[in-house]
C-alpha cells in the first residue's frame, strides 16, 4: 500500500524541493511556494517569475507526529511545522536538530537539506528541506 513511485514523479519536484524554488507574481507582488501554475489573484493577467527563497522564517504552527504512516515508522516521533517564510508564503517541513523547548509559535528557523525517507529497502531515497531553530541574529542555537 505504500506508494511505490517512479523516478519522474519526484524529479519533477527536485528543483522546488532541493533549492526552495517557488515563484512570484510580478503583477500583484505575491510570492508562492510551491510555484503556482496560475496566479490566483491575477489569473491570465498574472506574470509568474521563478524565485529562490532565503529559507529563513518563523514557526506558524507545529505538531509532533507519534503515529506515523507506512514508511515513516522508524522516524517517529518527529516534529512537523508550518513555517512562514520571510518572503510571505508558508511551507510545511520537519524541524530537526533543535531542542523541543525551543520549538514554539513565532520561533525563527532556517532551512537545511536532509533525507526525507526511503521508498522501501531497494527503492528511491528522497531528499528535501527541513528546518532548524535559529536565534534573532539568524545564528544557530546550541
Partner 1 sequence: MRNVAVVGIGETAFGEHWEKSLRALAVEAGIAAIRDANIEGADIEAMYIGNMSAGKFIGQEHLAALAVDQAGLVGIPSSRLEAACASGSLAFRQACLAVASGEYDIVIAAGAEKMTDLQTEDVTTTLMGAGDQEWEGWLGMTFPGLYALMARRHMYEYNTTREQMALFSVNGHKNAALNPKAQFPFEITVEDVLNSPLVADPLRLLDCSPVSDGAAAVIIASEDVAKRFENPIWLIGSGQATDNLALHDRKSLTSLRATKIAAKRAYEQAGIAPEKIDVAEVHDCFSINGLVALEDLGFCERGKSGKFVEDGNIERGAAVSINTSGGLKAKGHPVGATGISQIIEIVKQLRGECGKRQVPAEFGLTHNVGGTGATVVVNIFGKELKER
The contact set with Zn ion (CB under 5 A) reads 25, 27-28, 39, 41-42, 46
CB 109 within 8 A of CB 95: yes
Q: Is 117 in the site for partner 1 (CB under 8 A)?
A: yes
Q: Is 99 in the site for its own copies (CB under 8 A)?
A: no
Query: What are 118's strand-pairing partners?
Result: 125
68 binds, among its own copies, Zn ion, partner 1, none (CB under 5 to 8 A by kind): partner 1
Q: Is 49 in the site for its own copies (CB under 8 A)?
A: no
Q: Where are the beta strands (DSSP E) in the chain?
A: 21-25, 31-32, 48-52, 56-65, 78-85, 90-95, 108-118, 125-133
Cell of 81: 511545522
43 binds, among its own copies, Zn ion, partner 1, none (CB under 5 to 8 A by kind): partner 1
Taking each continuous run of H as one helix and of E as one strand, the counts in the chain are 2, 8
Q: How far is the CB of 69 from its own copies (least distance, A)?
A: 14
Q: Is 121 in the site for its own copies (CB under 8 A)?
A: no
Interface residues with its own copies (CB under 8 A) are 1, 3-4
Amino acid at each position: 500500500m505504500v506508494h511505490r513511485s517512479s523516478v519522474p514523479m519526484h524529479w519533477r519536484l527536485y528543483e522546488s524541493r532541493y533549492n526552495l524554488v517557488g515563484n512570484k507574481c510580478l503583477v500583484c507582488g505575491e510570492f508562492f511556494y510551491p510555484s503556482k501554475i496560475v496566479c490566483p489573484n491575477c489569473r491570465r493577467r498574472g506574470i509568474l517569475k521563478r524565485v529562490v527563497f532565503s529559507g529563513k522564517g518563523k514557526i506558524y504552527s507545529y505538531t509532533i507526529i507519534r503515529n506515523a504512516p507506512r514508511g515513516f515508522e522508524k522516524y517517529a516521533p518527529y516534529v512537523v511545522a508550518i513555517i512562514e517564510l520571510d518572503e510571505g508564503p508558508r511551507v510545511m517541513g520537519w524541524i530537526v536538530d533543535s531542542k523541543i523547548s525551543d520549538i514554539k509559535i513565532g520561533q525563527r528557523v532556517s532551512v537545511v537539506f536532509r533525507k526525507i525517507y526511503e521508498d522501501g529497502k531497494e527503492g528511491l531515497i528522497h531528499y528535501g528541506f527541513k528546518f532548524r531553530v535559529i536565534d534573532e541574529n539568524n545564528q544557530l542555537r546550541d
